Each structure stands twice: as C-alpha cells, then as structure tokens.
Amino acid sequence: MHLGGGCLHEFAHGCDVLGGGGGGPATESLPLAANAIALNGPVPVVTLAELPPDGLVMPCSLRGNPAVCVERIGTGRESIPIRHHVERHFGKPVVAMLCTQIGGYNGPAAVALAAHAGLPLLDGDAVGRSFPGFDQVAMRLAGIPPTPTVFADEHDRVVAVHLGNRDGLEPLARTIIGGFGGRAVSSGYMMTVEQAAAAVVPDSVRKALRIGEILAEPVATADAIRRLADEFGGVAIIEGRVAAVLRPTGVASDQHTRAMVQGTGRDSGRTVRLEMGHHYLAAFDGDRTLAAVPDIIALVDAYTGLPVCAGELRYGLRVCAVALPCPPVWRTPEGLDLAGPEAFGLQACYRRLDVR
C-alpha cells in the first residue's frame, strides 16, 4: 500500500478524528504531506513482516509552540539529520519511520517527514490517538528506553539526549525546544523491528484512512458517525447542538473546559456533558460515564462533516459525538496509570465503552 496525493484528505480527516479533539489540526500539515509526496512520490506503508527484524524503526514527530510552528513551517527534511544521527549511534540502518502519534497534526506530518527522508512509513503509530506527553507512548509500556532522543531544527542543528536509566526527558526537551526558538522535530524510543512487534500500536495508518473514507461518504453526518461506530466497535454518543462551552477563568491549569451538547433529531431530550483539556477527556449523561480517556472522543461538525478540535468548540455548533475504543495497551493497569482519566485530572474512573 502507498499513501499518495489522492487519498490524503481522507487520511487527514481520519487523523483528526483519532486526535480526539487534540494534537493540532491535521488539515494544517496536510499540504506539507501533499508537497512532500509531489516531490518524492507516494510513501510506501509497510507492515513489520515486510521489514528485516534487526532494522531500526524511527518514531518521528513535530514538537513545539503552535504560534511558532505556523510561522516556521520547516523543511520536512528535519528527519534526515535525525536519521543520520540514529544510524551512527546504533550502527545499523533505519528501515522505517513510525508516526509518533496518528492523531492530529503529526499524522500527515509523519508522511511528509518519511517522504523527505526516503523512508517507508510503518502501518502503526506509538499512541493510536493523540496525547500531550512525550512519555505517553506505547513503547514506554513495552520497556523500550526513551533515549537517545534526538531533536533537530530546520537548520540541521541536532541535539541528542541520553538519560541512561534516569527519568526527566520532558524538562530537558522543553529547554532544547526553547533553545531552538520554539520548534523541533524529535525522535525517541527507537527500536528494532523485532522489538516493535510488541511495542507499537498496529494498523493506525489504514485506520485513519478508513475513518476519513467513511466521513467522505455523501450521507448525513449522523449516519456516517453511526457507521464509524459500528465498524470500529465504538459508540455514537449524541447528535445535537452545543448549548454551552464553559472555559475555566484564570490561569489554573488543572481546570477543564466543560461543554453541554443538547440532543436533536433522534437524540432529542438528552443532554451530554463533555469535559475537555487539550482534547476531549470524558462524556457524561447525568452521572453516567459514556466514555472517558484513553478512549477516543471525537466531535464532527454536522454541516461540514469535519472533525472539531477541542479548542474550536463553541456555542451553536451542530455536532455528532462519537467514542472509539483506544488501543488495548491503554486499557492495561499500566496504560491507565500513564494516560487514564486520573492522569488528566479527572475524578471519573475509566470504564469500557458500552457497545450495544
């Protein structure tokens, strides 16, 4: 399978659904992926079985302040010096790139970074959705060491971090990205193909593409959402209007934004409450938890058929909300510890989606 220019819109919209309202808009990195493919040709999407077992898999993503990233759009070639550094360090070739998180901006961005580096893209990712933390990746749960983590800017400046057995990547990463002026492409949790088999979330690229294809079908958004829920074992939460968005006042970072979605059509009479931070964290019907992180909660605009980021949610939007199950790795006790409701300051306990 190849990712070519023809299916990129669908892929990006699927990435935005898997972003669960976070990860930055995939539609912003979409033109970068299209340009990279126009220059370098379609990107092969491969499975682990197609790769040599001792070859290296290199996760890659863009990190930084969104206000900087919209000005410094980079070259897409930042992956090349990172690849060279990684190959020198490990003394063997990188055989595939792994999208660090399929959800949001970094989905199509990984396509651009892979195309410029001349690498195939592994059909999978490290999260299966989007999470804000460097360490909220499946490889951590599989015991893959985070370092060396390599950072590069668009001027081929490279910084590598080696932590040995110690923790503390996040503050160092922030300092390095700050030193680069607020933007870096980073790569960590490098592994062999053999290790990757038990350490990555499989099939993410095809899944994003399939989600985008379903959304592109010329049917009412509510129908497309039900189809999405059916195909991926999720739940259509509600179809309705956003009746209130209550953003926390002040600078208290532990407070969440709340939104109320009032049902319309066949959901008339129901109201669903959403809790959100960088992405949608939980959906409640009265006291009942309908869905909670790490499961993926996505909202789709009923008029445009396109996913709505948590930061863009506002009064009056007509939306269809859907919850899709997260990859199984996040439902383990260790997974819930790292990225469950409590990791995002929610009181609610995690419970599996109630699929009827």
Partner 1 sequence: MIVGNPFATAEVGSRAPADRRCRLGFTVDVDRFAAALVDADGTVLASVEDVAPSASSSVVLPRALAGIMAQAGPRGVALDHVDQVMMAINEVDGRAGIREVDPDWSCWPGQLSPIGVVRLGAATTALPPLAGWPERLRSDVSVRAACVAGGAGVDGADFEPLDTAGLAAFARTVAGKVDAVVVSGVFAPVMPSDELAAAGLLRAELGDSVPILLSHEAGGAGLLPRENATVLQAVLLGKATGALRRLRRSMAQNGLAHAELFLARGDGSIMTADYGLTRSVQLHGAAKAVGAQGAAMLAGESNALVLFTTPDGEPTAVCAVAAGQARLASGPTDIAGVPTSVRSVAVVPTVPPVGGFPRTAADRIAEAVDRVKDVSGDLPLLVVGPGAGKLVDALPGAPAGTTLVCCPPRANAAVAVGAATALVTGSATRVLAADSRHGGDIRGKVVDQALAAAVHAGADPDRVEVIMVDEAMVARGAGPDLLLRVSAGGPPRTAWQYGRRRSPH
Residues 347 and 268: their CA atoms lie apart, in Å, by: 28
Alpha helices in the chain (DSSP H): 8-18, 26-40, 66-69, 79-90, 106-117, 138-141, 169-179, 193-196, 204-216, 221-232, 333-339
Instruction: Give me the sign of the Cα torsion angle 121, 126, 131, 137.
Output: negative
Which 37-96 positions form the footprint of partner 1 (CB under 8 A)?
Answer: 38, 65, 67-68, 70-77
312 binds partner 1 (CB under 8 A): yes
Q: Which of 85, 151, 79, 84 is nearest to 113 (CA)?
A: 79
Q: Enumerate residues 6+ apart whose C-beta is below 8 A from 321.
A: 225, 236, 237, 238, 239, 240, 261, 272, 274, 283, 297, 298, 299, 300
For partner 1, the closer of residues 40 and 47 by Cβ is: 40
Q: Counting contacts by CB under 8 A, is residue 155 touching partner 1?
A: yes
Segment contacting partner 1 by CB under 8 A, of 8-16, 33-41, 192-200, 282-290: 33-41
Q: Kindly state the tokens that stand for 204.
A: 């993410």
Complex with partner 1: residue 49 or 251, whichever CB lies closer: 251
Residues 118-137 contacting partner 1, CB under 8 A: none
What are 74's strand-pairing partners?
Answer: none
> Counting contacts by CB under 8 A, is residue 204 touching partner 1?
no
x-or-dash pattern for partner 1, window 276-295, by CB under 8 A? --------------------
Token pair, residue 301, equals 């605009």
Out of 50, 154, 213, 342, point to the residue binding partner 1 (CB under 8 A): 154
Shortest spacing between CB 263 and partner 1, in angstroms = 13
In the complex, the residues that contact partner 1 under the rule CB under 8 A are 31-32, 34-36, 38, 65, 67-68, 70-77, 112, 154-155, 174, 177-178, 181-182, 218-223, 241, 243-244, 251, 265, 302-303, 305, 312, 314-318
